Amino acid sequence: MQILNNQLTSRNLSNAVNILKNDKKLRVNAVRTLPIEYLISFLSKLNTNLSYKYSSYDTSLQEIDFDSDLYLFWMDWRLYMDKMEPQSLINWLKTRLIEIDASKPILINNWPIFWNIEEKQYAASVTKRNWMYEYNYLLEVLKDEYSNLEVIDLNLFASQIGIESYDARNDEVSNYPLSNKLTLQIARHITFQLIPAMTEPKLKAIVVDLDNTLYNGVLGEDGFDGIVLTEEHVQLQQALKNLKKNGILLAISSKNDERDVIHLLEQHPQFILRKEDFTFIEANWNSKAGNILSMSERFNFDVSAMLFIDDNPAEIAHVQTEIPSIKVLQADVTGTETVHRLLNYPYLYSRKKDALVELRQKDILANQRRQQLAKQSNDLNSYLKSLNMTITVYENEASHLNRVFEMGHKTNQFNLALNRFSEADVQERNHASNHLIFTVTLSDMLNDSGVIGVFFIKLDGELAFIEEVLFSCRALGRKVEDASLLIIIKKLASLGIKEVQIQHTEGPRNRPALDWLNNIYTSTHLTDIQLELNKRLVNYPGEVYWQNERNH
C-alpha cells in the first residue's frame, strides 16, 4: 500500500487526499534540532487547523512551551551520536519531557539506520548503525512510560522509499538529510494518521457502494462477467480488508439485486473481499440513507462513527443531507483516487492493533439474533430471560487493566465523565488503597462478550466518588449497567459508605450515559440510589455474581 503513497507528489496531493479543515485548532510546539520548515510547509497544506510555534536550533532543548496542544520533537539525532550512549541520551530526553504537559500528545522522530551505509565501504564495523539501532529501540520502549507518546518512524518510511530517502545535497546545503519525497510521506503520516489517532475517536465502520466503486461497471447491466477490476480496485479491496483486520467493520449499501451481489462476492475470481467480510449487505432499491441508519441501529453505534464511500455525487449529497454527521468519501471510477483517499483518510488509523475485532464482530451478529428474540418476546424481561445472561463483577482485576484503558479511549456513547484516563492513571488507581476499579463481564447463550463495563470509584470516609462509568455500546439495552451498579452499591454499603457522588460531563456523543444517570441518580444518598436501581430491576432475569463467588 505504501507503494501507492510513494507516487504522491505535492502536485497531485490535493486530488488524492482530504485536506483537513475544521474549527478545531491545534497549537503545535515544535522542538527541533533539524530544520522543520520543509515538513511544516507540507503539514500546513494538508491540515489548515495547525498553528506552530517553534524553538531555535538548540541541542539542549531549553525552549519548550508548556502551553501547547501537541509537542513535535523534530530531532537530528546524529548531533548526539558521538557524545552520548543511547541509554544516556534517553535518560536525558526524559529530563526534557518533564518540562511538558504529558497529558498532551507527544511525537518524536527516530532515525533511519541505513543512512550510514558508506560506513561499510571502508570497514566492517558499523558503530553508527548499531548506535542508531539501539537508540530507535529505546525510543519505542519509551512509549511504555508515556502513554501519549508516539514515534514518527522515519526509519520505516525511509526504508520503504529506499536510499533515495536520503538527500546528500540537502544535507550539505541545509543540514537537512531528508529527501522531498520522504518529507511528504512523513507529513502525510503525521497529518492523517498520528495526530487524528491521538486526538480524535477512531471510526468504527465503512459502508461501501459496489457499482463503479469496488469495480468498474454496473453489475445489473454489465453482468458478472462484464464488470472490470483495475489494479487499483484490487488494491482498494485489499485496503478495505486490511482495515477490517484492524477493527473497522464493513458493510455494503448498493442498488442491486441481492442474489446477484451474493453471487458476485462468493464467486468473482478477482474479488479480495468476500461475503463474510461484510457485517451487513444491503442490496436493494431503498434510499441509502435509510439503509445506513438501519445499519447504525443494528451496529449499535452512532452514524458519526461511519464512513460512506460512493462514486455517485448525488448519492453522497443525499446521504449527507439526510445524515449530516456521517463521514463521506467520493470514489472515482478507476479506483486510483479512491484508494489514495481511503489510505489518507483520517480516523481510520489506530495506535495499537485492536485485539478484540473478532469478538466485536461476533457480538454484533449475536446482537441481531438478540433483536429477533426481542421481537418475539412480549416484554423486555422475558426477552432478557431467554438470553440466559450472566454478569460478573471484578474488583481491581489486573488482567483487565489494558482493556479498561482501551475502553476509556474508545467508548463515546456510554462514557459518563469522559476522563479518558491514561495507562498510568489506570495503573495508579489500581494500586491506590482508596480507589476501586470494578470491571463487568457479560456472557449469554449467544456469545461471551468479555469486559463490557468499568466503574472507577474513589473512597473518602463515608463518601464514594464515582469518577467514571464506561459501558461498551454492544452491551447496552440489557440493564447490565443497572444490575452491576446495584451489586457494587451493596458492596459499598458493606464498607460503610453512605453518600455517593457521580461525576459526569456532557460530551458530543455521550447522551445515553447521561440519560441513564438522570434516571438513577435522584439523590446522593446511597440508599436512594439503591432504591431506584431495585425499582428498575424488578424481575430482572440476569444472574449477577462477584468474581470470587463464581469460583466458589
Partner 1 sequence: MKETINEIIVEILELEVANEELMNRENNVGWDSIKHLEIIMAIEEEFDIRFSSSEVTNIKDVTDLYRMVEEKINA
Q: Which residues bind to partner 1, rule: CB under 8 A?
A: 9-11, 35, 37-38, 41, 168-170, 172-174, 176, 180
Q: Note whether 322 and 287 are within 8 A (CB).
A: yes
Measured from the Cβ of residue 433, the count of other Cβ atoms closer than 10 Å reads 6
> 324, 313 in Cβ contact below 8 A?
no
Residue 41 or 286 having the CB closest to partner 1: 41
* Residue 144 burial (CB count, 10 A): 10
User: Rounded to the nearest 5 degrees, what angle is found at the Cα of 219, between the Cα atoms of 218 and 225?
Assistant: 110
Q: Rounded to an integer, what distance in angstroms lies between the CA atom of residue 458 and that of residue 103? A: 21
Query: Nearest distance from residue 123's CB to partner 1, in Å?
Result: 26
Element (H, E) at 395: strand 390-395
First-to-final CA distance of the chain: 52
Using the Cα atoms of residue 533, residue 536, residue 537 and residue 539 in order, give the sign of their dihedral. positive
CB of 435 to partner 1, least distance (A): 50
- Of 139 and 182, which has the nearer Cβ to partner 1? 182
CB closer to partner 1 out of 120 and 169: 169
- State in angstroms the smallest separation of the CB of 210 from partner 1: 37
Closer to partner 1 at the Cβ: 204 or 340?
340
Three cell numbers written together for 340: 489514495
Burial class of residue 257 in the structure, from the number of CB atoms within 10 Å of its CB (0-12 exposed, 13-18 middle, 19+ buried): middle
Q: Is the Cβ of residue 12 or residue 88 nearer to partner 1 in the bound state? A: 12
Considering the complex, what minimum distance in angstroms separates the CB of residue 139 from partner 1?
26
Cα(383)–Cα(541) distance, integer angstroms: 9
180 versus 238: smaller Cβ distance to partner 1: 180
- Tell me how long the chain is: 552
User: What is the smallest separation between the CB atom of 470 and partner 1, expressed in angstroms?
Assistant: 47
Write down the least CB distance from residue 9 to partner 1, Å.
6
* Nearest CB to partner 1, comparing residues 8 and 239: 8
The minimum distance between CB 174 and partner 1, in angstroms, equals: 5
In angstroms, rounded to a whole number, what is the distance separating the alpha carbons of residues 140 and 441?
Answer: 32
Is residue 214 within 8 A of residue 239, CB to CB? The reply is no
Pick the closer one to partner 1 by CB: 172 or 543: 172
CB of 154 to partner 1, least distance (A): 18
Please answer whether residues 216 and 233 qualify as being in contact, where contact means their C-beta atoms are separated by less than 8 angstroms.
yes
CA distance 51 to 67: 13
CB 190 within 8 A of CB 196: no
